[in-house]
Chains A and B, each alone.
Chain A
Amino acid sequence: MLLIQDVIKRYGALTALNKVSLQVEAGEFFGLLGPNGAGKSTLMSLVSGLRAPDAGTITLDGQALNTADAAGRLALGLVPQHIALYQELSPDQNLRIFGQLYGLRGSLLHERVEEALVAVQLTDRRKDQVKHFSGGMQRRLNLAAALLHRPKLLLCDEPTVGVDPQSRNAIFEYLERLNRAGLTIIYSTHYMEEATRLCSRIGVIDHGEILAHGTLDELLTRLPFEDEIRFPANPETAGLAAQLPAHGELATLDGTHRFRPRADYRLSTFFLLAESLGLPARLFTSQRPTLEALFLHLTGRNIRE
């Protein structure tokens, strides 16, 4: 469906995207995971036609997407990172304006606006000014405005920034429903849990390059370990920590050691070593590897840094 090939985008001396290639199939919920400044929004803006790449091609169903092709953008819906709504107007007015821009008229427009208001639970506030809404309500409306014309591909650029957990959950459920109904979604985020929960495939991006992409399971198999053992970083565990790098990766974050043993290193060996150092078992927790671990493995740093 969406094919991105060798796309390069520069801002002066800064290379925001460096030979990015991706393919997103119809019906996928594709996550673009990376820290702030990784190039997610730039890639979204190229796909949505706001900017033109310096090199490379972007096609949707074989048709090139570019800034000059306004009609080609009918197949796209963009949920911008910001609340891209007219704050002085009501939800009803906002949806009508954006619907009309996509060519909706008359009863079809009315029908779609009604559906959108119901879907984002704003029917009873339809005449109020958007500026008086909570952040969560505005985010929901921001999403609805991108869906009126029933796009083939929905681009969500960090659509839950600053949203309370309840509204975030409502947005997730709505997106999941849409995806189940067949809508292809590209969802950029720097929240691991969002990508883990929502996305059928994930692309990890940093410094303008796609470091890895695939399903969650496929990505996690790229890690040279299957489990992660966590224990407190303190003088009591310092002796143990000193011996572990020989058997796998050891990282320390927020006062916690995270040990990812190599595949040939048995957990029973680890616990025997801990016991021999007089460390009780209650100090240790074992977890399956996460996207965070993958990002750390791929970039050498935490995604929040």
Chain B
Amino acid sequence: MRILLILLGKDFANLRRNRAALVLTFVVPMIIIYIVGLVFGLGRTDSGPTGIPFAVVNESDNPAALKLVAALQAEKSFFVITQFVNPDKTTRPLTEADLRPMIRDRRFSYALVIPPDVLSDTRLGLRLKILADPRNDIEDQIVNGILQKTIFSNVPQLLGQSLQARAKKFLGAAGVDTFNRAIVRDVVATFGGNPDQILADMQKGNFGFDRLTQRLAPAPGGQAGSAGPDIFSRIMQIDREQVVGKDVKSPAATRIVGGYAVMFLLFALSNSAAAFFDEKNSGVFQRLLSSPVSRAQLLWSRFLYGVLFGLGQLMALFYAGHLLYGVDIFGHLGNLLIVCASVAAACTGFGMLLAAITRSAQAASSLATLLVITMSACGGAWFPVSLMPQFMQHIARYTLVYWSIEGFSAVLWAGESFVQLLPILGILLGTTAVVMSIAVWRFNRSAIFE
């Protein structure tokens, strides 16, 4: 027993000394649990996503349309944008013409247009228009579901007005008034009630459909009651226009391949950076630096290796995505190569920074695991960023993974030109420059070359 206790004590002493093991055992899983929990709404007072940018253009003067806009603004899942901000910071109401370029500029991915003819006496029901950039399949489903729910909850009055308008077209205004009064008389005689109030409700189109549609309203995931979709489609004409990515065969694959590719690239390059310490400990650095090789050449050769390695890995994985899911890489090969090279450069810089700020291969490796997994989870490699709470969405913008996925989407989903890619390339290459500067500075101050 004593021997067992001694051996047990030895194992715990080793574990206590091994920071890498401790980080992987406790810290990394806790972070993953926290992030995944947030995505699935655990520990949040609200449920579902919050703050998805959503533009609304109301071209109708119908009071019920205003009510719909207000309902969308009250919906936590959406951050409703109704104003266009001019360069001089003044604002004006958004117009439909503003929407397409703004969607292409990724200011928002979804917009609702309530047209002047939201109600018409030539058809039954409503007409709305949605403009979308459904680059993110999961987000797309969620936005559609929430939108349907919001409209269903607020549409009955519009639907009633639609019926009134159609009746006026067929019966004439006087005929409809006579018809309404006859109905009010019968209702009061049969069920009781205030005839003036009932008449006013009927003239406003308030037929009590809200109680019906509440039962039929679809859930946020897009699923409705059994009769919901049919009724919805009969009373609601929604013209959907996909602004970006019309020709993309597999939108989900574009995001999944890009997200996981960059995560594994970060792992590979972090390991490669940790190999710095192996070369130092083996004396290879000593041998190299005693030859006509400078420290700068050693560092930049490692950087170039990382970029080429990363480029090769990313392209191989996208080619696999092409073979497996039809991701169109050949239609955008030039820009894809440029984005992949930029991503590889940023990831290599990240790996070298890790090697520069740590003191051993083990420390570099454990820190890499912690950061890569955290960045991947926060940055959208596993789940769309838009499903996370807003503070996480802000954090995501400080990760390489996020901007890498943005770059891949811009090429493979939006088919953007080189000029349009420049902001993302600037962020990736700017990050590379910053982290490499810090890494080189740290390398020159550290003892890794001695």
Q: Which A residues form the contact surface with B (CB < 8 A)?
A: 45, 48-51, 68, 70-71, 73-74, 76-78, 80-87, 98, 101-103, 145-146, 155
Q: Which one of A51, A87, A98, A155 contacts B450 once the chains associate, using CB atoms below 8 Å?
A: A51
The answer to whether B292 and A84 have CB atoms under 8 Å apart is no
CA distance A251 to B123 in the complex (A): 116
CA distance A14 to B188 in the complex (A): 103
The answer to whether A83 and B282 have CB atoms under 8 Å apart is yes
| Chain B residues within 8 Å of A102, by CB | 291-292
| Chain A residues within 8 Å of B294, by CB | 68, 70
* Known A82-B281, A86-B284; contact A50-B292, beta-carbon cutoff 8 A: no
CA distance A74 to B288 in the complex (A): 12
| Chain A residues within 8 Å of B284, by CB | 84-86
Minimum CB–CB distance from B77 to chain A (whole Å) comes to 53
Can you give 9 contacting A-B residue pairs, CB < 8 Å?
Answer: A49-B290, A50-B286, A73-B290, A80-B287, A86-B284, A87-B282, A98-B291, A101-B288, A103-B292
Other contacts beyond A50-B289, A83-B282, A103-B292: 12, CB < 8 A: A45-B286, A48-B286, A48-B290, A49-B289, A49-B290, A68-B294, A74-B292, A83-B283, A84-B286, A85-B282, A101-B288, A101-B293
* Known A50-B449, A50-B450; contact A82-B282, beta-carbon cutoff 8 A: yes
CA distance A50 to B294 in the complex (A): 10
Name the residue on B nearest A78 (C-beta): B290
Q: Which one of A71, A80, A146 contacts B292 once the chains associate, using CB atoms below 8 Å?
A: A71
| Chain A residues within 8 Å of B291, by CB | 73, 98, 101-102
The answer to whether B287 and A78 have CB atoms under 8 Å apart is yes
Minimum CB–CB distance from B445 to chain A (whole Å) comes to 14
| Chain A residues within 8 Å of B450, by CB | 45, 50-51
| Chain A residues within 8 Å of B290, by CB | 48-50, 73, 76-78, 80, 155
Minimum CB–CB distance from A155 to chain B (whole Å) comes to 8
For B338-362 the 0/1 string (1 means CB < 8 A from A) is 0000000000000000000000000
Interface residues of B in 256-289 (CB under 8 A from A): 281-284, 286-289
The answer to whether A82 and B283 have CB atoms under 8 Å apart is yes
Q: Which one of A70, A74, A78, A87 contacts B286 once the chains associate, using CB atoms below 8 Å?
A: A78
Name the residue on B nearest A97 (C-beta): B288
List the 6 shortest-distance A-B pairs measured between CB atoms, nearest first: A82-B283, A84-B283, A80-B283, A78-B290, A84-B287, A48-B290
For B98-128 the 0/1 string (1 means CB < 8 A from A) is 0000000000000000000000000000000
CA distance A103 to B289 in the complex (A): 14
Minimum CB–CB distance from A156 to chain B (whole Å) comes to 12
Name the residue on B nearest A77 (C-beta): B290
Give the interface size bracket for B toward A. Answer: 10 to 19
CA distance A148 to B293 in the complex (A): 16
Q: Which one of A70, A84, A145 contacts B282 once the chains associate, using CB atoms below 8 Å?
A: A84
CA distance A74 to B289 in the complex (A): 11
Name the residue on B nearest A103 (C-beta): B292
Minimum CB–CB distance from A58 to chain B (whole Å) comes to 13
Name the residue on B nearest A101 (C-beta): B291
CA distance A82 to B277 in the complex (A): 14
| Chain B residues within 8 Å of A45, by CB | 286, 450
| Chain A residues within 8 Å of B286, by CB | 45, 48, 50, 78, 80, 82, 84
CA distance A48 to B291 in the complex (A): 9
CA distance A76 to B289 in the complex (A): 11
Q: Which B residues form the contact surface with A (CB < 8 A)?
A: 281-284, 286-294, 449-450
| Chain B residues within 8 Å of A98, by CB | 287, 291
The answer to whether B281 and A70 have CB atoms under 8 Å apart is no
CA distance A25 to B288 in the complex (A): 26
CA distance A77 to B290 in the complex (A): 7
| Chain A residues within 8 Å of B288, by CB | 101
| Chain B residues within 8 Å of A83, by CB | 282-283
Minimum CB–CB distance from B301 to chain A (whole Å) comes to 11
| Chain B residues within 8 Å of A50, by CB | 286, 289-290, 449-450
CA distance A37 to B282 in the complex (A): 19
Minimum CB–CB distance from B25 to chain A (whole Å) comes to 30
| Chain A residues within 8 Å of B293, by CB | 70, 101
| Chain A residues within 8 Å of B289, by CB | 48-50
| Chain A residues within 8 Å of B287, by CB | 78, 80, 84, 98, 145-146
Minimum CB–CB distance from B298 to chain A (whole Å) comes to 11
Name the residue on B nearest A72 (C-beta): B292
CA distance A146 to B290 in the complex (A): 10
Q: Which of B282, B286, B289 has the most CB of A within 10 A?
A: B286
Name the residue on A nearest B296 (C-beta): A70
Minimum CB–CB distance from B7 to chain A (whole Å) comes to 30
| Chain A residues within 8 Å of B449, by CB | 50
CA distance A49 to B291 in the complex (A): 9
Minimum CB–CB distance from A63 to chain B (whole Å) comes to 14
Name the residue on B nearest A68 (C-beta): B294
Name the residue on B nearest A76 (C-beta): B290
Minimum CB–CB distance from B245 to chain A (whole Å) comes to 44
CA distance A71 to B287 in the complex (A): 14
CA distance A76 to B450 in the complex (A): 17
Minimum CB–CB distance from B305 to chain A (whole Å) comes to 14
| Chain B residues within 8 Å of A145, by CB | 287
CA distance A73 to B450 in the complex (A): 16
| Chain A residues within 8 Å of B292, by CB | 70-71, 73-74, 101-103
CA distance A80 to B283 in the complex (A): 6
CA distance A50 to B291 in the complex (A): 10
| Chain A residues within 8 Å of B281, by CB | 82
CA distance A268 to B66 in the complex (A): 124
Q: Which of A50, A74, A77, A101 has the most CB of B within 10 A?
A: A50
CA distance A208 to B290 in the complex (A): 22
| Chain B residues within 8 Å of A85, by CB | 282, 284
Q: Which of B287, B293, B450 has the most CB of A within 10 A?
A: B287
CA distance A51 to B290 in the complex (A): 10
| Chain B residues within 8 Å of A82, by CB | 281-283, 286
Minimum CB–CB distance from B447 to chain A (whole Å) comes to 9
CA distance A62 to B450 in the complex (A): 25
CA distance A45 to B291 in the complex (A): 12
Name the residue on B nearest A81 (C-beta): B283
| Chain B residues within 8 Å of A49, by CB | 289-290
CA distance A80 to B449 in the complex (A): 13
CA distance A146 to B291 in the complex (A): 9
| Chain B residues within 8 Å of A48, by CB | 286, 289-290
Minimum CB–CB distance from B294 to chain A (whole Å) comes to 5
CA distance A82 to B278 in the complex (A): 12
| Chain B residues within 8 Å of A71, by CB | 292
CA distance A78 to B292 in the complex (A): 12
CA distance A208 to B294 in the complex (A): 27
CA distance A101 to B292 in the complex (A): 7
CA distance A74 to B450 in the complex (A): 19
Minimum CB–CB distance from B274 to chain A (whole Å) comes to 15
